[in-house]
């Protein structure tokens, strides 16, 4: 399943309507390049299983961890899950927001986390003490009936911030999902009590060789959508993509979209082997 999660207005729409009924080749290329600049979410089997796992944790109100290397798709998968559970607006009442997510900046403390949560819930911030911020977070999350809080880049949190997360768990009885690299486990193991609270975990793995072939074909069909097939799943293309990506889906996406844009700029109708090698050579 393919979902477009971000779409920018097409600045060429007016020109096309005023001009001829058929867009010129230059305009067509520009529109295709703009399309490739947008972010697409492709729900692979790995993401579908992960979303089912999150469903279980949300329903059980269980805290948990999601761990994996950078560029394996953790952030996109979590954002996609949030978008599957959008806010419900009722006139005269606080919105119901089942799932919220916040990405931790480096060295985030309690105040940064509380302000980030309130910003996510569109709460109008005003100055206050840490204790007042904490109370606002509890009241607002309860009013919005939050069921799950996803904290991305959780390994960036300062160690003492995890104690406030533990209190939040006890006060609101929600599922808190901590997402990060292996550094997250290293940080949390420093306090056995906190680590035991989020003992359940999901490992977001890199793509296997077989999955890389399958994903390359899916990207060619659903994301790139060039006029002619590029045969990205062929042994010849995979011989370049395999070592270049090492199974990281984020890197695969960047390489293929860059190669797609470069191909369109040069008037090609598909990604030629030479163009793919050119792009991969820059990934050093």
Rounded CA gap, 167 and 156, in Å?
19
Q: Is the pLDDT of residue 137 over 90?
A: yes
Taking the domains of the chain in order of start, what are their residue ranges?
A: 62-203, 206-284
pLDDT digits (tens, 9 = 90+) for 17-75: 344 455 566 888 899 999 998 887 888 999 999 999 999 999 999 999 999 999 999 99
Q: What are phi and psi of 12, to 5 degrees?
A: -90, -5
The band of 123, judged by pLDDT with boundaries at 50, 70 and 90, is confident
Query: Which pLDDT band holds residue 206 (cuts at 50, 70, 90)?
Result: very high
Q: What is the pLDDT of residues 96-122, one digit of tens each?
A: 999 999 999 999 999 999 999 999 998
User: What is the reported pLDDT for 20?
Assistant: 42
Q: Is the pLDDT of residue 5 over 60?
A: no
Give the residue with greater pLDDT, 197 vs 9.
Answer: 197
pLDDT at 11: 31
Q: Phi/psi at 7 (nearest 5 deg)?
A: -140, 125
pLDDT of residue 18: 40
Q: What mean pLDDT value characterizes the chain?
A: 89
Q: How large is the average pLDDT for residues 242-257?
A: 96
Q: Which two tokens stand for residue 248?
A: 């990281």
Band of the pLDDT at 10, cuts 50, 70, 90? very low
Predicted local confidence at residue 19, as pLDDT = 42
**101 contacts 152 by C-beta, under 8 angstroms:** yes
| Arithmetic mean of pLDDT, 189-217 | 93
pTM of the entire structure?
0.85
pLDDT of residue 90: 84
The H-assigned helical ranges of the chain are 13-18, 25-37, 45-60, 74-83, 110-120, 130-143, 161-172, 182-188, 192-197, 209-219, 235-245, 249-265, 273-281
Please state which CATH class domain 62-203 belongs to: alpha beta
Q: What percent of the chain has pLDDT over 70?
A: 91
**Backbone dihedral region of 222: left (phi > 0), alpha (psi from -120 to 50 degrees) or beta?**
alpha
Q: What is the pLDDT of residue 3?
A: 43
């Amino acid at each position: 399943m393919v979902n477009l999660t971000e779409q920018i207005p097409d600045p060429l729409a007016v020109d096309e309507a005023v001009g001829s009924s058929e867009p010129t080749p230059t305009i067509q290329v520009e529109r295709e390049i703009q399309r490739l600049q947008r972010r697409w979410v492709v729900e692979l089997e790995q993401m579908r299983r992960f979303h089912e796992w999150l469903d279980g944790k949300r329903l059980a109100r269980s805290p948990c961890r999601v761990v994996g290397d950078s560029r394996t798709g953790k952030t996109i998968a979590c954002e996609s899950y949030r978008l599957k559970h959008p806010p419900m607006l009722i006139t005269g009442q606080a919105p119901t927001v089942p799932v919220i997510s916040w990405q931790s900046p480096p060295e985030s403390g309690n105040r940064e986390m509380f302000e980030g949560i309130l910003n996510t819930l569109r709460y109008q911030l005003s100055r206050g003490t840490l204790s007042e911020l904490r109370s606002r977070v509890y009241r607002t999350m309860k009013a919005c009936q939050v069921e799950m809080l996803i904290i991305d880049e959780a390994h960036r949190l300062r160690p003492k911030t995890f104690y406030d997360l533990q209190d939040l768990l006890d006060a609101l009885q929600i599922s808190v999902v901590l997402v990060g690299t292996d550094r997250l486990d290293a940080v949390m193991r420093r306090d056995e009590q906190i680590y035991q609270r989020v003992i359940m975990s999901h490992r977001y793995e890199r793509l296997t060789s077989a999955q890389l072939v399958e994903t390359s074909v899916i990207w060619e069909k659903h994301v790139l959508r060039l006029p002619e097939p590029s045969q990205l799943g062929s042994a010849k293309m995979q011989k370049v993509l395999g070592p270049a990506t090492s199974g990281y889906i984020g890197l695969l996406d960047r390489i293929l979209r860059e190669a797609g844009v470069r191909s369109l700029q040069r008037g090609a109708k598909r990604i030629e082997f030479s163009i793919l090698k050119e792009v991969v050579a820059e990934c050093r």
